[in-house]
Structure 1
Amino acid sequence: MVLPLVVAALLLAAVAAAPGARAADSLDTAAASLRNGPVYVDPRARDILPRSEADALSHKIEKAGKPVFAVALPAAEKHDRSTLLQDLRTKVGVTGVYAVALGDRFDAGADRSVLSRDAVENLTGAAQRSHPGDSGAMLTDFVDQAVEQAKGDAPATWDNGATTPSGSTGALGLLITLGVLVVVGVGGTLLVSRRVTRRRQQENRARLEELRPVVDEDITAFGEELTRIGFDPSSPKADDAMREDYTRALDSYEHAKTVMEKARSPREVRDVTEAVEDGRFSLATLEARMDGKPLPERRPPCFFDPRHGPSVEDRRWTPAGSTSERTVPVCAADAARLDDGEEPMAREVDTPAGRRPYWDAGPAYGPWASGYFGGALLPGLLVGTLLGTSLGSPYAYGDYYGAGPAGDYSGGDHSGGDFDPGDFGGDFGGGFGGGDFGGG
């Protein structure tokens, strides 16, 4: 009898406090609502996003099953625009994509594991340019694209109550949230096994350490390429385009080193190899400018060894022991070797059976390869190989464990305030909707 009385008292307290809390801090109310559904509209912002449009937007997000959050707030609300997005992300505590219409301004951000910084900036800019002055349309346009591109799944808490897109139901969101917290508190000890968690953490660390030597070799090789190219930004022959290429390559190198130094899960290796691949393409572009040659086409790296740099063409190839021919991107040197009937210069890694090409080294190399070639391209390249057959396993791309022990959160996972603002795409630091608050 004690628990029902406690729950009732909490619910009554929430009902009494909700109006005051909503008036005092609409961001808290928005966060409480977003834990139960993807869209929140402050009652004073219904002119920005009418109820029918909010309901349609909520239905679209829920149907897609992606961790995308949309909020409409009135311009009169006194928020610090430079930290609004970060504060909302902290209060909701769920890894995902966050889009906010504030009066006639709009901006968005996302955790890098859900949507890349470039994608956030491109989608935000496109929405702002397409609907100048209409933040509701910007919000809808952005969400339409984000649900197609975002990674991860909708938060599990969305299944625990009805979606509440309108601010008028903010109190209901608080009630549901309190109820969920009580239930989780009572049943949590029955659902969580510390022994299982420890085992998963140990396996995560072991797989990361298996990858570390290969990734460190890639970073070192990339650093040597930066030195070899011998570019001097202060040289009279250097122009702005060259300096931009070089800066991007340097930034990629530093980002790769930093992420790998802090990595605690195999999943983070994808971010490292993505950065290295991007940096190598920037170097290839810089070298072409320096030599007065045509700029290279943006292509995947050489399949046989990404250290060879961007590929120059596609070739048909069948791996040893397989009958499945496939098309793979190759560098010029490996294309010449194939023309001569020779085996390409494959990247080999250590395995229990000795040195083997990475595609025959098993699922541990999924995160490493997916950073170079992307999750969509990879299965076709690796069909019939040991790594290819493992891509449908729980270990594919390092995603098996979901939220790991040290902030390794995928889309829709609850992280609370445990996230790196520097890894949260979208630049609210420069102002909401631009440095001049221009809204478009």
Structure 2
Amino acid sequence: MKAVPRAAPAAVRRAQSLPALLLAVLALVAMTAFAPGATAATGVSAIADALRKSPVYVDPAAGGQLSAVDARALTDRIEASGKPVFVAVLPAGHPTRNLFTDLRTATGITGLYAVRLGDRFDARADSSVLSRTAVRNLVTSVQGESAGTQLTDFTDRALATMHGRAPSSWGSSGGGTSTTALITTAAVLVAGGLCAYTLVRRSRRHHEQGQRAALERLRVVVDEDITAFGEELDRLDFHPAEAGADDAMRADYERALDAYEQAKQYMAEARRPEDVRAVTRTLEDGRFSLAQLSARRAGRPLPARRPPCFFDPRHGPSVTDADWTPPGGAAREVPVCAADATRLADGRDPAVREVDTDQGRRPYWDAGPVYGPWAGGYFGGGILPGLLVGTLLGSAMATPAYAADYGTGYGDFGAGGYQGGDVSGADFDPDDFGGGFGDGGGFDSGGDFGGSGGDFGGGF
């Protein structure tokens, strides 16, 4: 007798009635939760994959160095701190050549990387998370300790001083979970996703409105700069065909004219506040070309390339550095034009560039964060932090949220570069991770970490 197909179980019928989106999320969660464990391996890719999911990795062949209980305790300690510390415990025979550089590249996350290899220990970190000097001293302080004590002491001391945040990928793996839990989790994810989408759209609209307002405020100041440069060109009284003009003078003049036209074009095309940086950088190039032209016509030595006058870039390239102390701030050297250098030497106030604010006219460095891109184009990233430290603009640019609103590239204010936990891939300074375990390329001196005659004593 032919068998009659049995009705689908009630649980299956219920599952089939779920919305398509919920089923898709459920399938993804289930695949992750019930996937078989990866086979043990000591390759860098396998270690990196494990560290992206959890801060502590113990190679199966090195289980005798750190017990499962101690590894779990160390994992909990790091995760509770919210800091990007990565710890790998490997067997003594693991290859050490380029270990830290390769591990950092494969993991792709900014942070502090510590490796216990047999009875040896070493560490490296992105400089935005922890300085090389700090890492070196921390490693030295725990040499000779047992694995559990060493890793715990090192971690505790590092957590007290390091920067950054834990990567969001930690805790993304897990063991088996009941079907009910999976369905509940999937439903929460779907509902949360809809709420998050609404909030993100609202936040994005608010952010875009703020960006447009900031750009319009910058547009006023930049248009003044472009106009001032155009007036300089009009006053120049130079003609390429005039007596005494040579090819070098004509080239200077042409570069200045090109800078004027390009600055206008860049400003017309600007869509975000950070786009203004290209405008002011171009104007700075144009003014330097005019300074060269002036020197050639007067028969003077060509000027060295210097930043513009700090007090007002419209004054042109600086000619010297002068001591200046902002109200309530610390003294620092700033590049100044000849006229402002004379004013300061005579005890008078410099001619400061002021801009409109809600509180009236203020010096640009006390007018809010919107002027960061404007100043960044004139002064570049290298010298700007030292010029602005202690000012309202400098303080604003030191915050992690600044780059999201006004762009990056204005120098290291203590929070520059990728922060700990950021997925930066291979974008890191190889000098931060070079050498290790006697392979050379260590900190500062270029020697190995703790090798014979090295900087750190002890020797592995």
Q: TM-score, normalised by structure 1?
A: 0.50
In 2, the alpha carbon distance for the partners of 1:427 and 1:309 equals: 39
Residue number in structure 2 paired with 1:412: 421
1:350-402 CA-to-partner distances (Å, cap 9, x unmatched) read 9899x974404531455859975869x94xx22xx5x3785698853x25489
Shift of 1:423: 5.4
Q: Secondary structure at the residue paired with 1:76? A: coil
Question: Which whole-Å CA distance do the structure 2 matches of 1:181 and 1:426 have between them?
Answer: 40
CA displacement 1:136-171 (0-9 Å, x = unmatched): 46655554454344333222334x56xxxxxxxx87
1:94 and 1:181 map into 2 onto residues whose CA distance is: 28
Residues 220, 100 of structure 1: alpha-carbon distance in 2 compared, 3 angstrom cutoff: farther
- Taking structure 1 as reference, are residues 389 and 64 closer, same or farther at Cα in structure 2, changes over 3 Å only? same
CA contact (8 A) 1:95 1:111 kept: yes
**1:222-272: CA deviation from partner (whole Å, max 9, x where unpaired):** xxxxxxxxxxxxxxxxxxxxxxxxxxxxxxxxxxxxxxxxxxxxxxxxxxx
Distance 1:394 1:126, change over 3 A: closer
Aligned match of 2:167: 155
Percentage of pairs with the same residue: 38
The reply to whether residue 207 of structure 1 matches residue 276 of structure 2 is no
Aligned to 2:439: 431
Match of 2:141 among 123, 130, 155: 130
Q: Distance in 2 between matches of 1:127 and 1:390?
A: 31
In structure 1, list runs of 5 or more residues that go unmatched.
162-169, 222-275, 278-301, 319-324
Q: Is the 8 A contact 1:34 1:92 kept in 2?
A: yes
Quote how far apart the aligned CAs of 1:206 are: 3.0
Displacement of 1:342 in angstroms is 1.0
C-alpha displacement of 1:7? 4.7
Aligned equivalent of 1:342? 348
| Secondary structure, counterpart of 1:151 in structure 2 | coil
How far the C-alpha of 1:33 sits from its partner, in A, is 3.9
Q: Are 1:23 and 2:89 matched, yes or no?
A: no
Contact 1:128 1:138 in 2 (8 A): no
From the superposition, tell whether residues 9 and 145 of structure 1 become closer, same or farther in structure 2 (CA, over 3 Å).
Answer: closer
Matches within 5 A, 1:34-73: 34-46=51-63, 48-49=65-66, 54=71, 57-73=74-90
Alignment-mate amino acid for residue 111 of structure 2: G
- Relative to structure 1, the CA distance from residue 28 to residue 326 in structure 2 (aligned partners, 3 Å threshold; closer, same or farther) is closer
* Residue identity in the other structure for 2:332: P
> What SS does the aligned partner of 2:169 have?
helix
For 1:144 and 1:82, the matched residues in 2 are separated by 28
Give unmatched runs, 5+ long, in structure 2.
1-14, 16-22, 216-269, 288-305, 410-416, 452-458
**Distance in 2, Cα, partners of 1:50 & 1:126:** 26
Q: Is the 8 A contact 2:142 2:154 kept in 1?
A: no
Aligned-pair CA distance for 1:427: 0.8
- Does the C-alpha gap of structure 1 residues 131 and 157 become closer, same or farther in structure 2, counting only changes over 3 Å? closer
Distance in 1 (CA, whole Å) between partners of 2:82 and 2:448 is: 35
Could you tell me whether the CA contact under 8 Å between 1:123 and 1:142 is conserved in 2?
no
CA RMSD of the aligned region, Å?
5.9
Cα distance between partner residues in 1 of 2:322 and 2:155? 34
Query: Whose radius of gyration is greater, 1 or 2?
Result: 2
Q: May I ask how many residue pairs the two structures share in their alignment?
A: 319
For 1:135 and 1:432, the matched residues in 2 are separated by 25
1:123 aligns to what SS in structure 2? Answer: helix
Q: Distance in 1 between matches of 2:281 and 2:153?
A: 38
CA distance, structure 2, for counterparts of residue 308 and residue 144 of structure 1: 50
1:85 maps to 2:100? yes
How far apart are the structure 2 equivalents of 1:76 and 1:9?
35
**Correspondence for 1:363:** 369
Alpha-carbon deviation of 1:172?
4.1
Mapped contact 2:126–2:429 kept (Cα < 8 A): no
Q: Hey, what does 1:105 align to over in structure 2?
A: 120
Q: Distance in 2 between matches of 1:128 and 1:342?
A: 52
Which residue does 1:254 correspond to in 2? Answer: none
Q: Distance in 2 between matches of 1:69 and 1:193?
A: 34
**What is the rounded CA distance, in whole Å, between the counterparts of 2:346 and 2:91 in structure 1?**
68
Q: What amino acid maps onto 2:118 in structure 1?
A: G
